[in-house]
Each structure stands twice: as C-alpha cells, then as structure tokens.
Amino acid sequence: MATGDVTPIAIANRTGLDARQLGYYIQQLVQLGYLQRRHPLQPAGGKRRAVRYHLGNPLLRFWFHFLFPQLSAVTRLGPRPALRELIRPELSAYWGRCFEALCREALPDLLAQEGSATQVEVGEYWDRSMQIDVVGLQDDERIELGECKWGAVRSSRAALADLEARAAAYPNPRNASIGLRIFTRRPIRPADS
C-alpha cells in the first residue's frame, strides 16, 4: 500500500492472495488501526463501492514507503548517503500526501473559526476522471471542496480555475452550495495571483 497499491484488486495482485481471502486480513488490519478504509465522500445517494486502503500509522507509512523496499541499499550506503540518494528525491511527494491529510484534519477547525456551528464529515473524492483532495459535507447542506498544494503555486487563478472545473463535475444531486478552498504550504504572493 505504501507503494501505491491501494485498491483490493491491486493489493491482491501484489500479495498473490485471492481477493476473497484478502478481505479477512484487511479487516483485521483495519480493526487494529494499521489500515484505513476510505470511500469517495459525496452526498447521500452516491455509489460507495469504490474503496481504497491506506496505511494509518505515519511511522509504518514512512517505513514501508522508503526503507523496507530498499533495506539492502540503505544498509550498504549507510544513513547519510541513503537519506541523500534514496529518501530526499521522493520526500517532497511524500510530504504532499501528508499535507493533504493535515488539510482534511484542519477543515472542521477552519469552519469553526469562520463561525460555522454545523457538523462536518470530512474526506476526499475520486472517480475515474478526477481527484478532489478535501471534501467537507456540512449538516446545513453546504459542501466545501479543497485542493492542496504542497509545492509552489504558480498562479492562484489557475489553481482556482482547476478546482472550479472539478467542483462542476462533483456529484451534487441536491444542488447544495459549494465553497472552494485552496490549501497551500506557503502564502501565495499577490504577484502570483
């Protein structure tokens, strides 16, 4: 899962287990807190068959992404060269995924700071054609959609236009009002707008 096999079929193919046998093991790992089961978050009535599994523990996620697949190289190179040659080149993409999780965690607090008193269910959305990093379904029928940018944002207008296009394709059967948010690691300078 740390290498990108997050669907039941991909996991079964990688492990060599039959998908029907795999269900028991995945369920045990979910109950122990090692794995998280995720569905694309959408208003009631949408399909919930799509599922992805992710390593729930940050230490395990780091270990299985960077170290476990390359243990012999890490041992051979030593700590500093392994960090420089094996980990640093992929670290920014890894932090980007961590940043998405942090943004999902922060959304309820941001809404509360803005004066919203409603409950919010937070997750993400994906289908075959797009991914939305942050989705917040509020009890007052408002939907918050967000895009997370760990790297440099060249143009806030372009980022917002991209999110608007994704929002137009997001399933919204009740025609709820949608709020758009761009989460960035660094403030966007006015010249970048």
Q: pTM here?
A: 0.85
Q: Hey, which residues does 137 pair with through a beta bridge?
A: 121, 143
Q: How high is the pLDDT of residue 44?
A: 77
Q: How does DSSP assign 52-68, residue by residue?
A: EEEE--HHHHHIIIIIG
Write out the two tokens for 18. 């039959």
178 closest CA partner among 193, 168, 192? 168
Q: For residues 95 and 83, give the distance between their C-alpha atoms in angstroms, rounded to a whole number.
A: 15
With a cut of 60, say whether residue 86 has pLDDT above it: yes
Q: For residues 58 and 33, give the distance between their C-alpha atoms in angstroms, rounded to a whole number.
A: 11
> pLDDT by residue (tens digit) across 3-27?
778 888 899 888 888 888 888 999 9
Q: How high is the pLDDT of residue 164?
A: 97
Kindly state the greatest CA–CA separation across the chain: 58
> pLDDT by residue (tens digit) across 108-158?
999 999 999 899 999 999 998 999 999 999 998 899 999 999 998 888 899
Sign of the alpha-carbon torsion through 152, 115, 167, 4:
positive
For residues 67-90, average pLDDT? 93
Q: How high is the pLDDT of residue 15?
A: 86
13 closest CA partner among 4, 39, 61? 4
With a cut of 80, say whether residue 191 has pLDDT above it: no
Sign of the alpha-carbon torsion through 49, 50, 52, 56:
negative
With a cut of 80, say whether residue 181 has pLDDT above it: yes
Are the CB atoms for 171 and 46 separated by under 8 Å?
yes
Write out the two tokens for 27. 């369920």
Between the alpha carbon of residue 116 and those of residues 107, 119, 133, 184, the distances in Å are 11, 9, 21, 22
> pLDDT by residue (tens digit) across 41-72?
998 766 667 889 999 888 898 999 899 989 99
Residue 48 one-letter amino acid: R
Write out the two tokens for 40. 């694309």
Residue 119 one-letter amino acid: Q
| Of 46-50, 74-78, 85-89, 182-186, the least confident | 46-50
Are the CB atoms for 143 and 175 separated by under 8 Å?
no
Q: How high is the pLDDT of residue 47?
A: 63
Locate the domains of the chain by residue range: 8-97, 116-192
Are the CB atoms for 36 and 53 separated by under 8 Å?
yes
